[in-house]
C-alpha cells in the first residue's frame, strides 16, 4: 500500500514538474491519484445495497395454495394393499363414472395408489396457464415409480375448483428389493408433475382499483421500513409514502401521479437502499447447525469447557465349573446351553460377565473474548479449545443467558 501511494505521488510530481506554471495539470494529477486510490480505500466497505423488490412484497399480490385428492395408476405392484380401504372405494367410484360397476370388497389390485395433489396458484393466474404439482401417497404404497395421475380437481381454501391435474409422475428417488435387501434413495412415495395442472378459474387481481400500494417487508424492521419510505419520497420529490410499522409501508397512488399502478410498483421496486441486517444467531440442536451473523458483537466473557466421558463395557469369558474366577458383586454365571444331557460329557462352560468402567475426564479448556469481539474470533476460539457443534450450542446459550451476547438467539 505504501509503495502504491509513493508511486502515485511520484506521478503527480512529474506531471507538475513538466508544467510548473499549469495548476490545471497539477489538479488533474491529484485527481488521477485519488481515483486510483479510491478502490483501495473502500475495498473493505461491504456493499449492502439491495433492491426494494428483494426485501418486500405487494399486499394483495400473493400465491394461493391448492389441494386435491386422486388416484395414481400404472404402478408395478407397489401400490396400496387391501388394508387401504379408501383406495378401492375411490377406484370403484371412478369406474362407476366410466360406466363400469364393481364391488369394492371383491377387487384386489396392487398397481393403484391413493394420493393427495398439491400446487401453488401464482398471482395474476389466467385460465389455460399451467402449474407444477406435487403428488404424495396417502396409503401404504411402497413406490409411485411409473405411475400416472388420473384427472384430479384442485380446490382452494374456499372449496372452489381452480385447476385440474393429470399426467405421468416424475420421481426423485427409487425403492428396490424386499425386506433386508431393500434399497431406498430419497422418497419414493412423493413425486412431481411438471406443468401437470391447467388453471380453470381467473384469479387475477385488478390493480386499477388500488388507491394505496402497501409494501410488506419480508423481515420486519423499523429502520428498513423508514428507509424505504424515505427512498420513495426522495424518488418522487414529495411525501407520498409513510411507514406504518416495522412491516408495512403505504404509498399513495394519487399522490405519486403515476400513469398506472404497475408503473408505480415497477418504479418503487427498482429503488436501491441499504439494509441493516439484525444481529441474530440460528441454532439447530437436532443437526448441530449454527448460523451466526457477521455483525454479532460480544461483551468481555470467559468460557471454560471440559469433557467428561464415561464408558461401561461388559464382556463375557468362558470358564469350566470349579475354575470360576471371582464374580463381581451381584453377578451370576450364565451356563451355555448344551445339545442334550449326558453324564459322561464334559460340563458345559460357564459364561462369566466382566464389566469394565472407563472414565476420561479431560482437562478444562478456557478462552477469553475481549470487548467488541466478533463472530470469527468466537468461532476460532471455540475450535481452539476442541468444542463440537453441539458443545457450541450449549456455550452460546450460556453466553446469551449471561448477557455477553448482543444478538437474538433462535433455537430450532
Among 26-35, 40-49, 65-74, 294-303, the minimum mean pLDDT is found in 26-35
Judge if 157 and 72 occupy the same domain. Answer: yes
Q: CA neighbours within 13 Å on the CB side: how many for 317?
A: 9
Residue 51 located in a structural domain: no
Asked whether residue 24 carries a pLDDT value surpassing 50, the answer given is no
Judge if 91 and 195 occupy the same domain. Answer: yes
Judge if 74 and 120 occupy the same domain. Answer: yes
Judge if 69 and 167 occupy the same domain. Answer: yes
Higher local confidence (pLDDT), 314 or 23: 314
Domain count, the chain: 3
Number of other CB atoms surrounding residue 47 within 10 Å = 7
Q: Could you tell me the residue range of the domain that residue 214 belongs to? A: 207-274
At residue 360, the pLDDT reads: 58
End-to-end Cα, the chain, rounded Å = 46
**Across all residues in the chain, what is the average pLDDT?**
76
Judge if 285 and 385 occupy the same domain. Answer: yes
Judge if 253 and 194 occupy the same domain. Answer: no
Residue 26 located in a structural domain: no
List C-alpha distances in Å: 262 to 52, 55, 214, 227.
15, 18, 13, 22
Judge if 82 and 144 occupy the same domain. Answer: yes
Residue 325 located in a structural domain: no
Please tell me the pTM assigned to this model.
0.61
Residue 81 located in a structural domain: yes
Residue 318 located in a structural domain: no
User: Which of 250, 274, 298 lies at the terminal end of a domain, its last residue?
Assistant: 274
Write the DSSP string, 262-297.
HHHHHHHHT-EEE-----EEEEETTTTEEEE-TT-E
Judge if 263 and 292 occupy the same domain. Answer: no
At residue 194, the pLDDT reads: 94
Judge if 74 and 166 occupy the same domain. Answer: yes
The pLDDT tens digits of the residues spanning 324-365 come to 555 555 555 555 555 445 555 556 676 677 767 665 556 666
Banded pLDDT at 404 (limits 50, 70, 90): confident
The pLDDT tens digits of the residues spanning 261-303 come to 999 999 999 999 988 777 778 877 677 677 776 567 777 777 7
At residue 364, the pLDDT reads: 62
Residue 370 located in a structural domain: yes
Residue 316 located in a structural domain: no
Residue 327 located in a structural domain: no
Judge if 118 and 158 occupy the same domain. Answer: yes
Number of other CB atoms surrounding residue 329 within 10 Å = 4
Judge if 239 and 261 occupy the same domain. Answer: yes
> Which set of grid coordinates corresponds to residue 245?
410499522
Judge if 144 and 219 occupy the same domain. Answer: no
| Phi, psi values for residue 229, rounded to 5° | -60, -40
Amino acid at each position: 500500500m505504501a509503495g502504491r501511494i509513493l508511486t502515485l505521488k511520484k506521478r503527480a510530481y512529474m506531471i507538475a514538474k513538466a508544467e510548473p506554471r499549469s495548476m490545471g495539470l497539477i489538479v488533474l494529477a491529484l485527481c488521477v491519484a485519488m481515483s486510483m486510490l479510491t478502490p483501495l480505500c473502500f475495498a473493505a466497505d461491504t456493499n449492502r445495497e439491495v433492491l426494494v423488490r428483494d426485501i418486500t412484497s405487494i399486499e394483495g399480490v400473493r400465491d394461493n395454495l391448492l389441494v386435491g385428492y386422486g388416484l395414481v395408476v400404472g404402478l408395478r405392484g407397489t401400490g396400496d394393499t387391501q388394508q387401504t380401504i379408501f383406495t378401492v372405494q375411490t377406484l370403484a367410484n371412478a369406474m362407476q363414472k366410466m360406466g363400469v360397476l364393481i364391488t369394492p370388497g371383491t377387487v384386489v389390485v396392487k398397481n393403484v395408489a391413493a394420493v393427495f395433489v398439491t400446487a401453488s396458484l401464482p398471482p395474476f393466474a389466467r385460465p389455460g396457464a399451467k402449474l407444477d404439482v406435487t403428488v404424495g401417497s396417502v396409503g401404504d404404497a411402497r413406490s409411485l415409480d411409473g405411475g400416472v395421475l388420473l384427472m384430479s380437481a384442485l380446490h382452494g381454501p374456499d372449496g372452489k375448483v381452480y385447476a385440474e391435474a393429470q399426467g405421468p409422475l416424475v420421481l426423485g428417488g427409487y425403492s428396490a428389493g424386499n425386506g433386508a435387501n431393500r434399497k431406498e434413495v430419497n422418497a419414493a412415495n412423493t413425486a412431481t408433475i411438471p406443468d401437470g395442472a391447467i388453471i380453470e378459474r381467473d384469479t387475477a387481481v385488478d390493480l386499477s382499483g388500488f388507491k394505496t400500494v402497501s409494501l410488506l417487508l419480508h423481515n420486519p424492521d423499523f429502520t428498513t421500513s423508514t428507509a424505504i419510505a424515505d427512498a420513495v419520497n426522495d424518488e418522487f420529490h414529495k411525501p407520498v409514502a409513510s411507514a406504518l410499522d416495522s412491516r408495512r409501508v403505504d404509498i399513495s397512488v394519487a399522490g405519486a401521479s403515476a400513469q398506472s399502478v404497475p408503473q408505480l410498483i415497477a418504479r418503487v421496486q427498482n429503488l436501491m437502499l441499504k439494509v441493516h441486517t439484525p444481529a441474530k444467531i440460528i441454532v439447530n440442536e437436532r443437526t448441530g447447525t449454527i448460523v451466526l451473523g457477521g455483525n454479532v458483537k460480544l461483551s468481555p466473557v470467559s468460557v471454560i469447557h471440559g469433557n467428561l466421558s464415561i464408558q461401561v463395557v461388559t464382556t463375557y469369558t468362558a470358564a469350566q465349573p470349579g475354575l470360576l474366577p471371582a464374580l463381581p458383586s451381584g453377578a451370576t454365571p450364565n451356563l451355555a446351553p448344551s445339545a442334550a444331557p449326558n453324564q459322561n460329557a464334559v460340563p458345559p462352560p460357564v459364561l462369566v460377565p466382566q464389566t469394565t468402567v472407563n472414565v476420561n475426564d479431560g482437562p478444562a479448556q478456557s478462552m477469553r473474548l475481549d470487548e467488541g469481539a466478533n463472530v470469527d474470533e468466537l468461532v476460532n476460539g471455540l475450535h481452539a479449545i476442541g468444542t463440537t457443534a453441539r458443545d457450541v450450542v450449549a456455550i452460546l446459550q450460556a453466553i446469551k443467558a449471561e448477557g455477553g451476547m448482543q444478538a437474538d438467539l433462535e433455537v430450532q
